[in-house]
Amino acid sequence: MDTFENTYKEPVLIVRNNFDIQEDNNSLELIANKLNQNLKVFRNNNLLKEIEVNNNSEAIEFNFHNYEESNIEHKILVHGDEAFLFHEEHIYIHLPFELDYDSLLEMHNTNKLVEDTYFKLLFQKVKDLGSDEIHITVFDPGNMEVLTDKNWSEIEQVLQTKEEYFKIVF
């Protein structure tokens, strides 16, 4: 019997989180200033406040969200087409399009990644958020949960032991 094997490998982009994000501290103002973007802050899709840093009428969104089945607070920054999911020590970046890990690795190995307009802008956003490197691996739900309770150096060690992994330093 022939079986269809799904060969798509979803890439996971991970950077260090340099912000202690809370509703009641100045971390969101700092992010808005670093990105030079107005920011609308939501809790469970209800607008809490707006942070204006420039005269542009457009704003990016930051949402504190609790799902009914989970008491974990999700902190999500929507910037352009990407979503940045903030955890205590790291940030996951969700790309707005499907791109296989192997294709991403090939682009990296042939220097096409740093020449690509979209990725240039993404890397600049990562720099603006205070990180000088991005870690890329294949999404695996079991392995991703392992990262949750670790400090940044432990996260880097876990990532570097993965078979499918590479790092881009700016």
The answer to whether residue 3 is domain-embedded is no
The answer to whether residue 94 is domain-embedded is yes
The answer to whether residue 110 is domain-embedded is yes
Residue-range definition of the domain harbouring residue 119: 11-169
CA-to-CA distance for 136 and 138, rounded, in angstroms?
7
The answer to whether residue 85 is domain-embedded is yes
CA-to-CA distance for 15 and 54, rounded, in angstroms?
26
The answer to whether residue 4 is domain-embedded is no
Per-residue pLDDT of the chain (170 residues; tens, 9 = 90+): 445 566 889 899 999 999 988 877 789 999 999 999 999 999 988 999 999 998 888 899 999 988 776 677 789 999 877 899 998 899 999 998 889 999 999 999 999 998 999 999 999 999 999 999 999 999 887 766 667 778 999 999 989 999 999 999 98
The answer to whether residue 1 is domain-embedded is no
Quote the number of domains for the chain: 1
The answer to whether residue 2 is domain-embedded is no
For the entire predicted model, the pTM comes to 0.85
